[in-house]
């Protein structure tokens, strides 16, 4: 393969599979006190993927995603969209670029005084879509998001999940290449969250729209993202495949997100027993493995905590189990988990160190 130079990417000649490239992006908010919201952020987002950006509140996620459609200007660095530097765009050029990037928000941001149809129409008007096409597009969008019967409803008559569907229809109506989602499911309950995530996944697969999704919840990333960046204090702490991050979080920030101790997630049993963190990525049902271990090997492990959920009927999540005090039995359990193909790692109480035992 030929090597790719920075220049090639700038020219857009190799940009085909890279839709966004951030190059040393720094954002400083000048004010009473200076806030460095983004600190030398570099990353690439591939065309057609679902890319997650996760971090604690105040980490800089919103600022990061807002640089992608230049709702926020960067202080230093470059933002390339399809090989084109967005940071230099002005006025009409910038507005035109924004029309190819849809965005949805935590607060939905619909026109409350307009019905569903008119909300979608507002986006079509801005994108200069010919009037005679509006009707057809609106019908098609409402079908995609499953709201055909709400065409003339006002936002106040819709549930949170339905409002987000309208927002998705509006974002999708102008045929964007990317949809940016800023905490799009954070105001929704888990069941509705799963439905909205399913819809985004469907849009990603069927319409080939790149999705960039911001969240503070690991479960959202687990459910639909291909790759993820962990943002901490304005920096990218870690980036890569979701599975890899989940199984082997390297940075402190990623660890905090993967072991959500603040959510009552109990890592250690307090009695000095060996503990194992098991990760279910959907390929293995969670309950049977503990039962099968007991039935076939006669080894009983105790579940200290579990944080699993079912997305589209598949179990995702993690579980902390304490091994029997007998070392041989403990090893049998570990071998069994490995054999069953469950990702996991042993966690030791004393050093609070985690030792991955599987890739």
Partner 1 sequence: MAGIDWSFIWEGFLQTMEMVVISTVLAYIAGLPLGVVLSVTKQGRLAENRAVYNILAVLVNISRSIPFLIFLVLLIPVTRLIVGTSIGTEATIVPLTAGAIPIVARMVEASLEEVDGGIIEAALAMGASKWQVITGFLLPEAVPSLIQGSAINFVTILGYSAMAGFIGGGGLGAIAYQHGFIRYKTDILIVTVCILVIIVWIGQELGLKIAKKVRR
Residues of the shown chain interacting with ligand ADP in the complex, contacts defined by CB under 6 A: 29, 31, 35, 37, 55, 57-63
Site for partner 1 in 122-151 (CB under 8 A): 122-123, 125-127
- Give how far Cα 1 sits from Cα of 4, 9, 13, Å: 9, 15, 15
Residue nearest to ligand ADP (CB): 62
Q: Residue 230: beta bridge partners?
A: 54, 238
List the one residue out of 48, 40, 96 whose CA is nearest residue 64: 40
> Contacting partner 1 (CB under 8 A), which of 9, 12, 47, 154?
154
> Any idea what DSSP says for residue 69?
T
> What is the closest distance, in whole angstroms, from the C-beta atom of residue 63 to ligand ADP in the complex?
3
The item of Mg ion, ligand ADP, partner 1, none sharing an interface with residue 177, based on CB under 5 to 8 Å by kind, is none
Nearer to partner 1, 72 or 195 (CB): 72
Burial 125-134 (b: 16+ CB within 10 A, else e): eebebeeeeb
List the one residue out of 204, 182, 191 whose CA is nearest residue 161: 191
> What is the closest distance, in whole angstroms, from the C-beta atom of residue 235 to Mg ion in the complex?
16
Nearer to ligand ADP, 62 or 119 (CB): 62
Q: For residues 344, 346, 349 and 353, what is the CA-based torsion angle, rounded to 10 degrees? A: -90
> What is the closest distance, in whole angstroms, from the C-beta atom of residue 31 to ligand ADP in the complex?
5
Nearer to ligand ADP, 41 or 50 (CB): 41
Find tokens 């987000």 and name the residue: 164
> Contacting partner 1 (CB under 8 A), which of 5, 13, 42, 113?
113
SS3 333: helix
Contacting residues toward Mg ion, per CB under 5 A: 62
The item of Mg ion, partner 1, ligand ADP, none sharing an interface with residue 60, based on CB under 5 to 8 Å by kind, is ligand ADP
Q: Which backbone phi and psi does 318 adopt, to 5 degrees?
A: -145, 165
How far apart CA 222 and CA 228 sit, in angstroms, is 10
> Contacting partner 1 (CB under 8 A), which of 109, 186, 233, 308?
109
Nearer to ligand ADP, 39 or 195 (CB): 39
Query: Helices 116-126 and 131-145 sit at what angle, rounded to 10 degrees?
Result: 130
- CB of 25 closer than 8 Å to CB of 41: yes
160 binds partner 1 (CB under 8 A): no
Token digits for 213?
Answer: 């999704």
Nearer to ligand ADP, 234 or 330 (CB): 234
Token digits for 72?
Answer: 């926020």
- CB of 197 closer than 8 Å to CB of 151: no
The item of Mg ion, partner 1, ligand ADP, none sharing an interface with residue 37, based on CB under 5 to 8 Å by kind, is ligand ADP
- In a 13 Å sphere around the CA of 86, the CA atoms on its Cβ side amount to 27
- Which residues, 6+ apart, have CB-to-CB distance to 28 below 8 Å? 34, 35, 36, 37, 75
Nearer to partner 1, 119 or 215 (CB): 119
Nearer to Mg ion, 221 or 323 (CB): 221
- CB of 299 closer than 8 Å to CB of 333: yes
> What is the closest distance, in whole angstroms, from the C-beta atom of residue 65 to partner 1 in the complex?
10
> Contacting partner 1 (CB under 8 A), which of 51, 105, 246, 316?
105
Site for partner 1 in 9-68 (CB under 8 A): none
Nearer to ligand ADP, 60 or 317 (CB): 60
Binding interface with partner 1 (CB under 8 A): 69, 71, 95-99, 101-103, 105, 107-114, 122-123, 125-127, 154-156, 167, 174, 180
């Amino acid at each position: 393969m030929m090597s790719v130079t920075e220049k090639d990417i700038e020219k857009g000649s190799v940009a085909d599979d890279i839709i966004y490239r951030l190059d040393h992006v720094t954002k400083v908010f000048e004010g009473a006190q200076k806030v460095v919201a983004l600190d030398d952020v570099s990353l690439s987002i591939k065309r057609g993927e679902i890319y997650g950006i996760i971090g604690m509140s105040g980490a800089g996620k919103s600022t990061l995603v807002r640089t992608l459609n230049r709702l926020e200007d960067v202080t230093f660095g470059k933002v390339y969209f399809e090989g084109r530097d967005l940071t230099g765009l002005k006025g009409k050029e910038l507005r035109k670029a924004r029309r190819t990037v849809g965005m949805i928000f935590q607060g939905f941001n619909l026109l409350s005084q307009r019905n569903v149809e008119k909300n979608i129409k507002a986006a079509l008007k801005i994108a200069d879509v010919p009037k005679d096409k509006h009707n057809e597009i609106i019908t098609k969008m409402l079908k995609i998001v499953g709201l055909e019967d709400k065409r003339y409803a006002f936002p106040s008559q819709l549930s949170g999940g339905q409002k987000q569907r309208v927002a998705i229809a509006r974002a999708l109506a102008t045929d964007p290449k990317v949809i940016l989602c800023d905490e799009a499911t954070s105001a929704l309950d888990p069941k509705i969250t799963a439905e909205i995530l399913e819809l985004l996944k469907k849009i990603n697969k069927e319409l080939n729209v790149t999705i960039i999704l911001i969240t503070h919840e690991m479960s959202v990333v687990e459910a639909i993202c291909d790759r993820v960046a962990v943002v901490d204090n304005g920096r990218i702490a870690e980036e890569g495949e979701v599975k890899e991050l989940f199984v082997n979080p390297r940075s402190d920030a990623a660890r905090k997100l993967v072991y959500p101790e603040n959510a009552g997630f109990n890592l250690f049993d307090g009695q000095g027993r060996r503990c194992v963190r098991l990760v279910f990525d959907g390929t293995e049902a969670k309950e049977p493995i503990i039962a099968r271990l007991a039935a076939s090997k006669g080894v009983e492990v105790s579940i200290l905590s579990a944080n699993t959920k079912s997305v589209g009927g598949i179990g995702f999540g993690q579980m902390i189990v304490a091994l029997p005090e007998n070392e041989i039995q403990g090893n049998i359990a570990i071998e069994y988990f490995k054999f069953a193909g469950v990702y996991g790692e042993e966690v030791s109480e004393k050093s609070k160190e985690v030792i991955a035992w599987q890739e």
